[in-house]
Structure 1
Amino acid sequence: MSTFNPSIAPARLNAFPIFAKVEGRVVVIVGDGDEALAKTRLMAQSSAELRVISAAPEAELADWAEANGVAIVRQAYEPALLTDAALVFAATGELDRDAAVVADARSLKIAVNAVDRPELCDFFTPALVNRAPVAVAIGTEGAGPVLAQMIRARIDQMLSPQLGVLAQLAASYRDAVEKLLPKGVARRRFWKEFFTGETARNVDAGDLSSARRTASRLLRERGAVPGHVALVGAGPGAEDLLTLRAHRLLMEADVIVHDALVPEAVIAMGRRDAERIAAGKRKGCHSKTQSEINALLVELGHAGKRVVRLKSGDPLVFGRAGEEMAALRDAGISYEVVPGVTAAFAAAADFELPLTLRGVSSSMVFTTGHDLKGATLPDWARLAIDGATVAVYMGRSIAAEVAERLIAAGLSPDTAVAVVENASLKSKRLFHGTLADLPSLQERTDLTGPVMTIIGDAVAGANFDRSTALYRALAFQEEISR
């Protein structure tokens, strides 16, 4: 058995990454089945002329080649078929055949790759993130192809699908930038704003005419950077529920203004050198008023900052985004909204609970428990009685009043209820019961995290295997307290 003894010295690459020019040149793939198909698909992302050599191609290879206009030379392999190739792939799946192709290619001084045989390779094919003309290649020198694919998937998520279009647009401005902007700070500032600011956002939205206008304006203004605010949904808590767009914006932000309920793990997904400002606003502990937050966003925007206003859940669901958008509009500062996974959806997923259920519930109500504190029953209460699923945000402290008012309005005390503390997180706790049991939630002093309550007949379709009955949980807590 070999031993692994890593050196403390800096590692050196045994295979140095390069990009080979293949436009209009022949790339040969020798093989009949899956290995040949995989390499043909990979090289089809390039502008090379592909030549597959196979006397008896398997059906999937033959069908794919026909559908994609790739030529298959249907004859037995012979060295003369490699003569004009720029690169060769030995993809037969048989060691002796692959070794023969490798020997022939080397005799012709052509670089060759033998699939899954690193000891026979002159070069390795990377895991590829393709945003042509931008490409990111990940290689492991054949040591860990699965690892390379895992890294590729993570990088793929980070990069906008429209990055290639943005790069092509940048190429069209390169000469003008070199003529009009001096080298150094001004030119770097222009390109940073070009690739991360309004021009990039217009390209992402598919609006190329607006992208050209904003790029031209940026050039006329010599790279002056306008401020921009993104109202971003941080989701219910778990960092891997953050959207790809939200993650990209966090990586580009100069300033992150975050709510108190946003976990540190989500905030940490932003740029390390980004300024972080806690905006607070949880019950009994308001570090900033809403008007102060509005003024802060306007001030940062006027200062030319790229700001992420990071809100728990979704910005447009009980997030006061309307007030912040109005302030930004009035101040003439550009902004965008990035949706997040709202707590009701995360809680339903934790319970495997169908929020709508055919023949049972076809509508939903999102509300806060405080809607039931007034003298008049809100309009949505009638929907609950008619079968809608009701998701109650921030309702633990008035759970008894919620239950009392809904029962008085006509909702059955036996209506199913699901309660989740810390939805989506490892620390989540699940409870179930009926509307009549809901007042016990108000007495649960051990519930310190955000609580989501879902009420309705559709709740009966949830999975209760990992939840505790509300009345049992209360009895246990009372026994502990005694």
Structure 2
Amino acid sequence: MQLYPLFADLSNRPALVVGGGDVAARKASMLLRAGARVTVGAPVLGPELRELLQQGRITYRACAYQSEWLDGMWLTIAATRSRRLNARIAADGHARQRLVNVVDDPALSSFQVPAVIDRSPLLVAISSSGTAPVLARRLRERIESLLDPALGPLLQLAQRYRARIRARHADLGARRRFYDWLHDGPVSALLRAAHPMRAEQQLVAALADREPPRGSGSVALVGAGPGDPGLLTLRALRALNEADVILHDELISPQILELARRDALQLAVGKRGGGTHTPQEAIHALLLEHAQAGRRVVRLKGGDPFVFGRGGEELAFLREHGIAYEVIPGITAALACAAHGGVPLTHRDHAHSVRLVTAHCQHSLDTLDWVELARERQTLAVYMGVGKLEELTGKLLAHGRPSDTPFALIENGSLPGQRTLVGTLGDLPKLARHHAVCAPALLILGEVADFAPALHWYGELLGPTPPHSGISNALADAA
């Protein structure tokens, strides 16, 4: 072990930063966050340090470096552009037995500044012993995604009640079980849901019980997005890593499921393209069974749970049965497919509104307001409509939508096999048959779809060429 890891208490203790540029400003800001009394020495200060000086947060020595600056300092950071000057600062510090860090020069440094993940009072520090700071930063980014922001408030709450917890649970085993419950149970869930007072009340009530509280189950409705694992939210990734049980739709990609905790029970529910499926009542029963058994359950849905995902039904069921729940939104298909197909869903010159429509069955088509849907200067995003393109096209044309209205039909949006078919409404069924477009695919219909031929950037582009209307032609001419 090259370095001795430690966390220094610099609260109200003097620290020195030599240098007046951007790097010095970052180092000074970090020291200020740790509560240090920061002195900055440099002939000239950059804008960030000038602002800190105007706020009265730093002391300024407005001249060239002098060795006596180090007297009385707990630690010093050399952040000048001159290696010769940095070496002199390091030598002065070593002679005075002061800790000195020279930015990006481990050979001159007596301590390293690690990459830090801050969930105060929890701190995670990562060091490569100065050999690979970029790698340390990348590791920090990866670990950052796994640590819930609610950890900070949870630890602060536990810190305030530490004495009462120790007094209530003198037995070490009971105390450990209590802290496990505190981390995994309703207190943590309430903090994630921004209910700090209710979380504290829950903790106080648990301390009043004679026995340590047992772990209680919960359900997280998680949106998996359109399929690309890179489009998962950080919160969704954390939920997958904490889950005991994952109930997932059939269309969830294997790449996303591989990100889940290795020992989690994974159960496929839902259906694919009209095939065999799990009834909604059976899904409800599975959610209830595992949550009541004290497990953390993730209900993993493609796209967003609240956009054609029956998330509202499942939430109502959980509430009715007293199961704790949370919802983690996902990127819905309309947003993802439009972005990957180069189609702005709204545009100040062409569309001022977006309608999300589902057309997966005849009942859905029969209940839609076709007069409104056929109006121009709006964008239609049609989910689950590949099998109903003939009926969909016929109804829109019959209610006045022009046959030359542009469309973009995006298959496997955001996935490596994405194909974007473009054309006009009158030719939609014929083109879709010709190119054998299959589910999952999302239809974007409206004037904005004509941006796709020029702005498309991901996957294969199919359809008539050259571009079929003025928008695409104007963009091509501008390019």
TM-score normalised per structure 2: 0.90
Provide the rounded CA distance (Å) in 2 between the counterparts of 1:304 and 1:60. Answer: 51
Counterpart selection for 1:265 from 227, 231, 255: 255
Q: 2:333 aligns with which of 325, 343, 367?
A: 343
Within the alignment, does 1:423 sit opposite 2:413 as a pair? yes
Aligned to 1:106: 94
Letter in 1 for 2:452: A
Q: Secondary structure at the match of 2:74?
A: strand
1:65-214 correspondence runs (5 A): 65-67=53-55, 69-181=57-169, 183=171, 185-214=173-202
For 1:427, give the aligned amino acid. G
Contact 1:395 1:453 (8 Å CA) reproduced:
yes
2:440 aligns with 450
The aligned counterpart of 2:233 is 243
Change (3 A) 1:471 1:50: closer
What's the % identity of the aligned pairs? 39
- Give the residue type in structure 2 aligned to 1:349: A
How far apart are residue 371 of structure 1 and its match?
5.9
Q: Deviations over 1:296-340 (max 9, x none)?
A: 111112111111100000111111122212221221112122111
Gapped runs of 5+ residues in structure 1? 1-12, 473-482
- 1:382-393 maps to which residues of 2 (within 5 A)? 382-393=372-383
Per the TM alignment, residue 198 of structure 1 is displaced from its structure 2 partner at its CA by 2.1
**Number of the residue aligned with 2:424:** 434
Deviation, structure 1 residue 161: 3.1
Match status 1:222 vs 2:180: no
More displaced 10-residue stretch of structure 1: 48-57 or 426-435: 48-57
Aligned partners of 1:101, 1:376: CA distance in 2, in Å?
79
Change in 2 beyond 3 A, CA 1:410/1:257 = same
CA shift, 1:445, in A, is 7.7
Greater Cα offset, 180-189 or 196-205: 180-189
Tell me how far 1:160 sits from its aligned partner. 3.0
CA contact (8 A) 1:347 1:420 kept: yes
Aligned mates of 2:366, 2:102 — CA distance in 1: 76
1:254 to 244, 251, 256: 244
Residue identity matched to 1:158: L
1:324 aligns with 2:324: no
Q: What secondary structure does 1:417 align onto?
A: strand
Name the aligned partner's letter for residue 281 of structure 1.
K
Q: Distance in 1 between matches of 2:9 and 2:70?
A: 18
Structure-1 separation of matches of 2:432 and 2:206:
56
Q: How far apart are the structure 2 equivalents of 1:185 and 1:280?
A: 42
- C-alpha distance in structure 2 between counterparts of 1:432 and 1:58, whole Å: 52
Deviation at residue 47 of structure 1 after TM alignment? 1.3
Partner of 2:276: 286
> AA paired with 1:344?
A
- How many angstroms does 1:165 deviate by? 2.0
- Pick closer, same or farther for the CA change 1:27–1:150 going to 2, 3 Å: same
> How far did 1:190 drift?
2.4
Alpha-carbon distance in structure 1 between the residues aligned to 2:83 and 2:158: 46
The equivalences for 1:458-469 within 5 A come to 458-464=448-454, 468-469=461-462
Distance in 1, Cα, partners of 2:444 & 2:373: 14
Tell me the alpha carbon deviations over residues 79-99 of structure 1, each in whole angstroms, 9 at most, x when there is no partner. Answer: 222121111112222122111
CA RMSD of aligned residues (A): 2.3
Deviation of residue 429 (structure 1)? Answer: 0.9
How far, CA to CA, are the matches of 2:319 and 2:72 in structure 1? 62
The one-letter amino acid of 1:122's match is S
Work out whether residues 371 and 378 of structure 1, in 8 Å CA contact, stay in contact via their aligned partners in 2: no
For residues 33 and 359 of structure 2, what CA distance do their matches in structure 1 show? 54
1 CA distance for matches of 2:101 and 2:107? 10
1:330 alignment partner AA: E
Deviations 1:244-301 (CA, angstroms, capped at 9, x unpaired)? 2211211211111111011111122222221111113222333421110011111112
Q: Distance in 1 between matches of 2:191 and 2:364?
A: 47
Output the CA distance in 2 between the equivalents of 1:409 and 1:189.
65
Q: Out of 400, 407, 410, which is 2:397 matched to?
A: 407
Matching residue of 1:479: none
TM-score by length of 1: 0.89
Q: Residue 292 of structure 2 is aligned with which of 299, 302, 316? A: 302
* Count of residues in Structure 1 that have an aligned counterpart in Structure 2: 460
SS at match of 1:224: coil
Give secondary structure in 2 for the equivalent of 1:237. coil
**Residues 25 and 49 of structure 2 are in contact (CA less than 8 Å); yes or no, is this contact kept in structure 1?**
yes
Q: Gaps (5+ residues) in structure 2?
A: 466-479
Please tell me the residue identity of whatever aligns with 1:361.
A
Q: Summarize the Cα distance change of 1:229–1:59 in structure 2 as closer, same or farther, 3 Å threshold.
A: closer
Q: Which moved more, 1:418-427 or 1:362-371?
A: 362-371
1:9 maps to none
Moved more, 335-344 or 188-197: 188-197
Q: Which moved more, 1:103-112 or 1:215-224?
A: 215-224
The 2-side partners of 1:452 and 1:54 are apart by 59
Residue 50 (str. 1) matches residue 38 (str. 2):
yes
Contact 1:87–1:111 (CA under 8 A) maintained in structure 2: yes
